[in-house]
Amino acid sequence: MNLFAAPVLIAALLALVGTHPASARGKPDTLAPPKAETKYLAFQIFTNFTPDVKDAQALNHGMKEPLVPGKAALHDYVLDIKKRIGTVGDEKTRLAVMLGPLCFDQSDDEITRFIEVAFDLAIETDVAVGFHIDDSMFWRSRKDLWGDPKNVEALDWDGTPSKSRRLDWGKEPTEAPPQMCFNSKAIQKEVQQRSALIGKTIQTGVKKLQDRKKPELFAGVIAGWETMIGQDFKTGKYLGYRALINRGFSREKPPKDMDLEREHVVQEFIELWTKGLADAGVSPKRIYSHTAFLSRRAFKGGDDKDITYMKNDKGNTYSQHNHFAPPSVAFGKYHRPGFSTYPQPGLFEDIYELLEKHQASGWASCEGTNMQPSSGPGQTGMNMETYLAKTFNHGGTVVNIFAWGIGGEAMKNMDFRVVTEGEDALRAYRKFLKGEPLIEAKVEASLMERLPPKIHKIQKDLPAWLEKVERGDRQKMEALMKKLDEQLKAKKFAEVEKTADSVLKMMRGKP
């Protein structure tokens, strides 16, 4: 056994921690979509992807000069997913790719050609396609819009424009183009034009699929990329004053509830996009919003001290922390709700509660995988099958997984890809696409809390420890790691914890 490969091995096996011999299916879903409706397992393909990128920051923030990949590159990307999973499913469960972001930095001609190519690709590969719209973030090339202060969000009641927006996509905030003012007349006109263009082009593609008796090859369109009113990059101030001024409010006449009023602005902007798509002919059942939120349980803190994704920094309201996009704003007349679903305590429960309240019959996981960003693999207490089941077993119609193949060979060991492309994940994908029931595994609570951090610490610290010890200690560690491997595969988790404790004790005892 190659001990230098041990961290990779452990990362691949961490997903098993979410499985337990006493596992059981989740409770029956009372809000499931009609049986005839196709459910889609989708994988995000970024319009600005470059297979040889070596810089992780470039992957996240490379939209200054957006790229639209050619058909050959897209074809290879889709075939890689199809080949490694090994099946495309059928009319009930379907493999798909979600292409985007489609953004204002791209021209109308680029958008049109890209959508047309995508539908041709679906016919050629038998893999469904969907589209992911960035509604407001990437508009750097549109100085004709952001050059006018009326189209940019303000820092205060004086209308002071924010010069750039803060994106919390990594360990440090990143600077992005200024926050768009959602209810500016010029912005709303642009949204109406762009949504009509996208909607009409999609409908042409859908008609082509229908003529070939393959309507299931359209997975839908996500109208937004975590829609929100963000923060000013330089000051960190919460924005939205320009939108409030446009709604007739002022310093002398503020709204009774500043947060709620800005939530209305966000929700109305989502509906502006989705109405435009629906008016162009796209079925509202195939249109999804996309918001991201911190669960109320995680926001309150308590025993959820290990939460990393959208962690509450205290001192702000729930609405502010979620950038005026709490999960309730995801619902609307012309679309189904959609959310980012990186696992965190209470997230899915909040979604289920709202689905019940709105009697929604379908929804989407628009972005996510079985990990918390910035925390690494193995911190969710579940395997990929359970992760998928938390959407598909509860009325969900689309799960859009990040970030298969991103960065090419140079980044095959990045956390997202270890989780998304590992053997545990591939088994879950195949099971879903074969139409087999997905099992929501149950784990003894205290073990679920204790074991993942221990395994993660081994994964993190073992390589450096191995470089400093003598051959005899390496051999002892090899025996322990082999034992840990066997116990994990056998799902004997009480024994796994004892062996993990032995590994950690040995690591503490040597240099």
- pLDDT at residue 379, as a whole number: 66
- Minimal CA–CA distance to 257: which of 320, 204, 302, 210? 320
**Vertex 366: Cα angle to 363 and 370 (nearest 5):** 110
> Maximum CA pair distance of the chain?
76
The architecture of the domain spanning 36-441 is Alpha-Beta Barrel (3.20)
Q: Which residues of the chain have pLDDT under 70?
A: 1-35, 48-68, 302-314, 374-379, 443-449, 491, 510-511
- pLDDT at residue 308, as a whole number: 52
CA distance 114 to 48: 12
Return all residues near 248 (Cβ < 8 A) that are at least 6 apart: none
Instruction: List the structure tokens of 114.
Output: 């890209």
Buried b (16+ CB within 10 A) or exposed e, 401-438: bbbbbbbeeebeeebbbbbbbbebbeebbebbbeeeeb
For residue 152, which phi and psi values (nearest 5 degrees)? -120, 140
Work out the number of other CB atoms within 10 angstroms of the CB of residue 379.
21
Instruction: List the structure tokens of 347.
Output: 């997230």
- Tell me which amino acid residue 176 is: A
- pLDDT at residue 72, as a whole number: 86
Instruction: List the structure tokens of 174.
Output: 């990143």
Instruction: List the structure tokens of 346.
Output: 């209470």
- Minimal CA–CA distance to 403: which of 370, 375, 428? 370
CA distance 88 to 95: 5
Return all residues near 233 (Cβ < 8 A) that are at least 6 apart: 162, 163, 164, 165, 166, 173, 175, 176
How many helices (H) and strands (E) in the chain?
Answer: 17, 11
Contact 72, 124 (CB under 8 A): no
Contact 95, 127 (CB under 8 A): yes
Q: Estimate the crossing angle of helix 445-466 against helix 493-509, to 10 degrees.
A: 40
Question: For 249-266, how does the pLDDT look when each residue is reduced to its tens digit (9 = 90+)?
Answer: 999 999 999 999 999 999
Residue-range domain boundaries for the chain? 1-23+444-511, 36-441
Instruction: List the structure tokens of 240.
Output: 């939205």
- Minimal CA–CA distance to 216: which of 37, 436, 435, 434? 37
